[in-house]
């Protein structure tokens, strides 16, 4: 009986939200074309040293962009914010206070007058009342002093049913809070009500599908049937335009169904075939699903070797793309939504590989994405990596071969062979991989650190994990990571694994400092994005 009431409860929330979406067309839908939102206004009592910022999404790139806005001496400001379709943006006016979450339309002009000290906001423009209503509602909720409810999607101590009950209860409380407010403030605009309900729905939906990361991907472990019935219900009512909220739920929902297709992923089949033919391993699909067996050092090294070889093949690249786009054919969706998510997945693959697609896959993309505004980011990134691939490597001597290390059978002898040319120098070690997004983010800052330490007794040693040679070289060229003080190794997977075990590497990137005597003296030094902190840290060690 409790199960029945729970199911009816979530259906009632879904129904109320569905009525709100279906009853009115509240936001412009331009079919996902590029446009602009114009924000202007005046700000008072801006904290010294703080700058206004507007955050907006690049949807295909999957990137949240910070747009710096500088007021004049009177506090007046203006900004042009790129959008595709109606979208949500954040107006950040104070470092310690909530940002304004604004739902905006292509071509909209918003004027905002803000007093940071009093935390008051006034809006002018076509949808001023809706923006004001949302702002007033959020201020009202803040006065209630309600505790923030954190629900950990990755909590494996909870069953899926318990987790679903918690996030449903949280959603219900937020919905009830809004309903109670509407009884006292019935004049609240439908547009504002829709925005708040959608924000509440998005939190529920994002948590619902983020929990997929508790499942065993290798064995295609699935959620209980009633759990996915809730996700399917949310997907069916998810309002257009899809850019009104972030793509977390949509991405995870599509990935879930794509990962659980009946057939074996093409990349897995090609890897198994390679290991069987080239290594004589007679590997089966059942063994592939055995996490303990596949996690042995021998299997990890073999799979790493297979990946380095296969990743250069156009057919393997096609299999990677198909695997990432797998959910697009597993569920029914509108054509423009499919183009949006197809462009998103192609961009993700291209950005991850850090090398240009084979021409057959570029042609395939052009066939699938006709909207030029959605296709443009992918084609521009493709052009970028084509140019990088053609570029000569500067200071090519920074890329080391492993010929002098091939007989090293222990981590100690391997490390000694790598460090021997740099005796008497500090060695800053970066253990990374071309597949690792945080690694690549840190590398954006590495050039300035290298420049600051120029001609000093510091060596920057990069050890690449599971990185195909063409992607490895392209990324090094992209970030200018070569020079007299820079050394790169792309070791065989077995040797790389020995070093990672020796250093106790548990995540990527991992940084280490080795002193002038060859001893690891710090397993958690400042990272490149710390800038001056890392520069000062290295200079201090040079003085010791």
What does the pLDDT look like over 323-363, one tens digit per residue?
999 999 999 989 999 999 999 999 999 998 999 999 999 99
Cα gap 363→532, rounded to integer Å: 45
Same domain, 152 and 15: yes
pLDDT score recorded for residue 2 = 43
Domain CATH number, residue 115: 2.60.40
Over the stretch 100-109, which tens digit does the pLDDT of each residue have? 999 999 999 9
Tell how far CA 470 is from the center of its chain.
23
Whether residue 381 lies inside any domain: the answer is: yes
Please state whether the peptide bond connecting residue 240 to the residue before it is cis, i.e. omega within 30 degrees of 0.
Answer: no
CB atoms within 10 A of CB 408: 18
23 band by pLDDT with thresholds 50, 70 and 90: very low
Rounded to the nearest 10 degrees, what angle do helices 160-184 and 190-210 cross at? 170
- Pair type for strands 87-92 and 52-58: antiparallel
Whether residue 280 lies inside any domain: the answer is: no
Q: How many C-alpha atoms does 539 have within 13 Å on its Cβ side? A: 11
Percent of the chain with pLDDT over 70: 95
pLDDT score recorded for residue 21 = 43
7 band by pLDDT with thresholds 50, 70 and 90: very low
What value does the mean pLDDT take over residues 281-298?
83
Counts for the chain of helices (H) and strands (E), in that order? 20, 13
Over the stretch 193-215, which tens digit does the pLDDT of each residue have? 999 999 999 999 999 999 999 99
1 band by pLDDT with thresholds 50, 70 and 90: very low
* Of the candidates 46, 132, 135, 141, the residue with the CA atom closest to the CA atom of residue 95: 46
What value does the mean pLDDT take over residues 231-249?
92
pLDDT score recorded for residue 25 = 54
Across all residues in the chain, what is the average pLDDT? Answer: 91
- For residue 88, the enclosing domain spans 34-126
Whether residue 92 lies inside any domain: the answer is: yes
Cα gap 326→316, rounded to integer Å: 15
Same domain, 15 and 158: yes
pLDDT score recorded for residue 170 = 96
Same domain, 346 and 477: no
pLDDT score recorded for residue 4 = 41
Q: For residue 145, which phi and psi values (nearest 5 degrees)?
A: 65, 35
Higher pLDDT, 161 or 406: 161
99 band by pLDDT with thresholds 50, 70 and 90: confident
CA distances from 238 to 31, 180, 258, 334, 519 (A): 16, 24, 19, 12, 56
Whether residue 305 lies inside any domain: the answer is: no
* Of the candidates 209, 202, 210, 207, the residue with the CA atom closest to the CA atom of residue 245: 202
pLDDT score recorded for residue 420 = 94
Domain CATH number, residue 441: 3.40.30.10
| Block residue for tokens 């505004």 | 373
pLDDT score recorded for residue 466 = 87
Same domain, 349 and 378: yes
What value does the mean pLDDT take over residues 272-290?
86
Query: Does residue 9 carry a pLDDT above 60?
Result: no
283 band by pLDDT with thresholds 50, 70 and 90: confident
DSSP class per residue in 250-297:
HHHHHHHHHHT-SSPPHHHHHHHHHHHHHH-----HHHHH-HHHHTSH
Cα gap 486→490, rounded to integer Å: 14
Whether residue 143 lies inside any domain: the answer is: no
Whether residue 271 lies inside any domain: the answer is: no
Q: For residue 345, which phi and psi values (nearest 5 degrees)?
A: -70, -40
Same domain, 347 and 415: no
What value does the mean pLDDT take over residues 415-435?
94
pTM metric for this prediction: 0.88
Query: Does residue 390 carry a pLDDT above 80?
Result: yes
Q: What's the CA angle centered on 257, arms 251 and 259, to 5 degrees? A: 95
Over the stretch 489-528, which tens digit does the pLDDT of each residue have? 999 888 998 999 999 998 899 999 999 999 999 999 999 9
Whether residue 361 lies inside any domain: the answer is: yes
435-440 long-range CB contacts below 8 Å, 24 or more apart? 435/352, 435/466, 435/467, 436/465, 436/508, 436/509, 437/352, 438/508, 438/509, 439/508, 439/509, 440/354, 440/475
Residue 383, both tokens: 């052009």
Same domain, 477 and 527: yes
What value does the mean pLDDT take over residues 52-69?
94
Q: What's the CA angle centered on 416, arms 413 and 421, to 5 degrees? A: 145
pLDDT score recorded for residue 51 = 84
Report the C-alpha dihedral over residues 361, 365, 366, 370, rounded to 10 degrees.
180
What value does the mean pLDDT take over residues 380-386?
97
Q: How many C-alpha atoms does 386 have within 13 Å on its Cβ side? A: 10
Whether residue 298 lies inside any domain: the answer is: no
Same domain, 248 and 373: no
Structural domain ending residue among the three candidates 243, 259, 275: 259
381 band by pLDDT with thresholds 50, 70 and 90: very high
Structural domain ending residue among the three candidates 211, 236, 259: 259
Number of structural domains found in the chain: 4
Same domain, 115 and 190: no
Cα gap 307→419, rounded to integer Å: 28
Same domain, 403 and 534: yes
Same domain, 343 and 416: no
Same domain, 525 and 489: yes
Query: Does residue 22 carry a pLDDT above 60?
Result: no
Same domain, 455 and 375: no
Cα gap 339→369, rounded to integer Å: 5
């Amino acid at each position: 009986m409790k199960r029945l009431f729970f199911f009816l409860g979530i259906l009632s929330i879904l129904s109320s939200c569905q009525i709100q979406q279906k009853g009115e067309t509240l936001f412009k839908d331009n079919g996902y074309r590029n446009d602009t939102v114009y924000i202007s206004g005046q700000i008072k009592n801006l904290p010294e040293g703080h700058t206004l910022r507007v955050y907006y999404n690049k949807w295909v790139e999957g990137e949240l962009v910070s747009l710096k806005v500088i007021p004049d001496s009177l506090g007046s400001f203006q900004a042009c914010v790129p959008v595709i379709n109606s979208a949500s943006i954040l107006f950040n006016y104070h470092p310690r206070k909530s940002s304004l979450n604004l739902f905006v339309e292509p071509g909209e002009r918003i004027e905002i007058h803000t007093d940071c000290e009093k935390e008051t906001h006034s809006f002018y423009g076509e949808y001023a009342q809706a923006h004001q209503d949302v702002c007033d509602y959020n201020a009202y909720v803040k006065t209630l002093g309600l505790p923030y409810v954190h629900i950990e999607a990755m909590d494996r101590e909870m069953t899926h049913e318990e987790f679903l009950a918690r996030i449903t209860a949280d959603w219900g409380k937020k919905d009830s809070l809004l309903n109670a407010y509407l009884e006292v403030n019935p004049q609240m605009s439908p547009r504002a009500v829709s925005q708040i309900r959608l924000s509440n729905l998005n939190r529920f939906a994002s948590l619902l599908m983020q929990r997929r990361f508790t499942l065993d991907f290798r064995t295609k472990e699935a959620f209980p049937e009633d759990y996915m019935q809730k996700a399917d219900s949310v997907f069916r009512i998810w309002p257009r335009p899809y850019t009104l909220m972030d793509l977390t739920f949509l991405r995870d929902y599509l990935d879930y169904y794509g990962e659980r297709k009946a057939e074996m992923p093409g990349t897995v089949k090609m890897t198994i075939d390679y290991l069987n033919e080239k290594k004589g391993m007679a590997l089966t699909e059942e063994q592939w699903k055995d996490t303990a067996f596949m996690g042995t050092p021998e299997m990890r090294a073999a799979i790493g070797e297979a990946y380095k070889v296969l990743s250069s093949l156009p057919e393997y690249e096609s299999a990677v793309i198909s695997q990432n786009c797998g959910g697009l054919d597993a569920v029914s969706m509108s054509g423009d939504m499919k183009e949006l998510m197809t462009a998103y997945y192609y961009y993700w693959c291209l950005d991850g590989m850090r090398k240009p697609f084979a021409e057959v896959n570029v042609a395939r993309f052009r066939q699938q994405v006709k909207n030029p505004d959605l296709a443009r980011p992918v084609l521009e990134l493709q052009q970028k990596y084509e140019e990088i691939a053609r570029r000569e490597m500067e200071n090519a001597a920074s890329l080391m071969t492993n010929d002098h290390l091939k007989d090293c059978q222990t981590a100690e002898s391997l490390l000694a062979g790598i460090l021997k040319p740099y005796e008497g120098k500090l060695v800053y070690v970066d253990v990374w991989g071309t597949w690792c997004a945080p690694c690549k983010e840190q590398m954006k800052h590495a050039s300035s650190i290298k420049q600051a330490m120029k001609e000093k007794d510091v060596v920057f040693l990069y050890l690449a994990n599971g990185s195909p040679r063409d992607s490895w070289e392209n990324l090094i060229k992209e970030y200018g990571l070569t020079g007299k003080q820079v050394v790169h190794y792309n070791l065989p997977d077995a040797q790389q694994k020995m070093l990672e075990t020796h250093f106790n590497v548990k995540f990527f990137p991992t940084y280490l400092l080795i002193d002038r005597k060859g001893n690891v003296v710090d397993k958690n030094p400042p990272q490149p994005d710390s800038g001056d902190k890392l520069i000062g840290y290295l200079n201090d060690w040079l003085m010791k």
